[in-house]
């Protein structure tokens, strides 16, 4: 038995990096009968960097549609983080046992505070505490994480240990990572396809939109002409093929075609566009259906929120009992 928790920030259009690197794996994990899974649109995390309040509700809705369209709600609880106030409540309790020194070592804080130099709030610094609360609130035991979130997961494990040790109670299990190793680069060749970097292909883009972005996307920089054989191992287009193009086409047409210069980058991209459409066409159709019934989306998220609040209430009762916090029920 394992309890899975993961989340996605509503910071922009869900893209192929999110889909190939995370969402597909979340769906796989959630299908296992021995897993109980929670997937969240982590809107409170998105507050840690500048955002537009006017368009934020739309961004949350769109992220929810994307997550539901890949089928995550079939066996998992899908909800919006801010609908469960216990996330921020638990973050306070954990924050009181979180060592400042550990927080100061977080590389993501260093990177993001550099990226948003003019507006670094304390929330960006304490982000890992909220992430620990997200996981521990559901007593998560298995967390799908990419390389860039490993340090935060280690911090969440430390938080579980610190809290249990400080209050001599076994409230939280230590969550283990489920390593997600695939990293999709940006269309600009940047190390990561990222919502905030404008180098994405959206998961729900139409074939025309996909092709427009794919056409100009970075490939093997050494393949300057069609006659020069390519190196699939350094090419982001090939990485995406490995996810959506089945064998034998992957090896025989794409890999061999590239390394022997039988096909050019344009041909290879056309094949990728076809594979993407085969894989994501049905997802886009489901997203369109959901967009046409916003009431249905709300219903699913409301149900998810209610399930999570019930679980979160139980955990918070244990947390407060362990910490000796009884509010008005306190006695001398």
Which stretches of the chain bind ligand AQP, using CB under 6 A? 8-9, 11, 17-18, 21-22, 146, 149, 182-184, 192-196
Provide the H-helix boundaries in 42-149. Answer: 43-46, 56-69, 86-95, 100-104, 107-115, 122-137
Catalytic residue among 112, 176, 213, 270: 112
Of 18 and 86, nearer to ligand AQP (C-beta) is 18
CB of 182 to ligand AQP, least distance (A): 6
215 is annotated as an active-site residue:
no
Which residues, 6+ apart, have CB-to-CB distance to 128 below 8 Å? Answer: 103, 106, 109, 151, 152, 155, 156
CB of 22 to ligand AQP, least distance (A): 4
CB of 195 to ligand AQP, least distance (A): 4
Catalytic residue among 192, 213, 270, 320: 192
Cβ pair 54, 3 in contact under 8 A: no
CB of 102 to ligand AQP, least distance (A): 20
Which residues, 6+ apart, have CB-to-CB distance to 211 below 8 Å? Answer: 273
Of 193 and 271, nearer to ligand AQP (C-beta) is 193
CB of 192 to ligand AQP, least distance (A): 4
Of 10 and 305, nearer to ligand AQP (C-beta) is 10
User: Three-state DSSP class for 250?
Assistant: helix
User: Three-state DSSP class for 2?
Assistant: strand
Whose structure tokens read 């999110």? 18
Of 178 and 291, nearer to ligand AQP (C-beta) is 178
d(CA 308, CA 303): 9
d(CA 58, CA 63): 9
Using alpha carbons, list the distances in angstroms from residue 295 to 65, 167, 284, 316: 12, 44, 18, 31
CB of 23 to ligand AQP, least distance (A): 7
Of 147 and 212, nearer to ligand AQP (C-beta) is 147
CB of 314 to ligand AQP, least distance (A): 26
Catalytic residue among 185, 195, 269, 311: 195
139 is annotated as an active-site residue:
no
d(CA 204, CA 280): 7
150-156, long-range: CB < 8 A, 24+ apart: 150/177, 150/179, 151/105, 151/106, 151/107, 151/108, 152/106, 152/108, 152/127, 152/128, 153/177, 155/102, 155/103, 155/106, 155/128, 155/131, 156/128, 156/131, 156/132
- Angle between helix axes 265-292 and 207-215 (nearest 10 degrees) is 150
195 is annotated as an active-site residue:
yes
Cβ pair 193, 199 in contact under 8 A: yes
Q: Which value, in Å, is the radius of gyration of the alpha carbons in the chain?
A: 22
Of 153 and 322, nearer to ligand AQP (C-beta) is 153
Active site residues: 112, 192, 195
């Amino acid at each position: 038995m394992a309890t899975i928790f993961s989340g996605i920030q509503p910071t922009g259009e869900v893209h192929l990096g999110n889909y190939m690197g995370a969402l597909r794996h979340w769906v796989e994990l959630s299908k296992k009968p021995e897993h109980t899974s929670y997937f969240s649109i982590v809107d409170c995390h998105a507050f840690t960097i500048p955002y537009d309040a006017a368009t934020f509700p739309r961004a949350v809705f769109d992220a929810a549609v994307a997550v539901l369209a890949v089928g995550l709600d079939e066996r998992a609880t899908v909800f919006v983080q801010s609908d469960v106030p216990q996330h921020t409540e638990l973050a306070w309790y954990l924050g009181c046992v979180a060592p400042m020194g550990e927080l100061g070592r977080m590389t993501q804080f260093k990177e993001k505070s550099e990226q948003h130099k003019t507006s670094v709030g304390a929330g960006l610094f304490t982000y890992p505490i909220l992430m620990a609360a997200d996981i521990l609130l559901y007593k998560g035991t298995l967390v799908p994480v990419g390389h860039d979130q490993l340090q935060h997961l280690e911090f969440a494990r430390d938080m579980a240990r610190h809290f249990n040790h400080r209050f001599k109670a076994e409230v939280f299990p230590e969550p283990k990572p489920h390593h997600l190793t695939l990293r999709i680069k940006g269309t600009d060749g940047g190390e990561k396809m990222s919502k905030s970097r404008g180098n994405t292909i959206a998961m729900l883009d139409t074939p025309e939109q996909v092709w427009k972005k794919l056409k100009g996307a970075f490939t093997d920089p050494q393949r300057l002409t069609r006659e020069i054989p390519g190196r699939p191992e350094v090419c982001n287009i090939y990485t995406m093929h490995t996810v959506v193009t089945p064998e034998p086409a992957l090896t025989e047409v794409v890999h061999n075609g590239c390394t022997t210069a039988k096909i050019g980058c344009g041909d290879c991209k056309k094949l990728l566009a076809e594979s993407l459409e085969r894989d994501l066409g049905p997802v886009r159709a489901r997203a369109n259906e959901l967009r046409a019934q916003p009431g249905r989306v709300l219903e699913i998220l409301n149900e998810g929120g209610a399930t999570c609040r019930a679980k979160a209430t139980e955990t918070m009762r244990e947390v407060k009992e362990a910490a000796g916090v009884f509010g008005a029920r306190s006695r001398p």
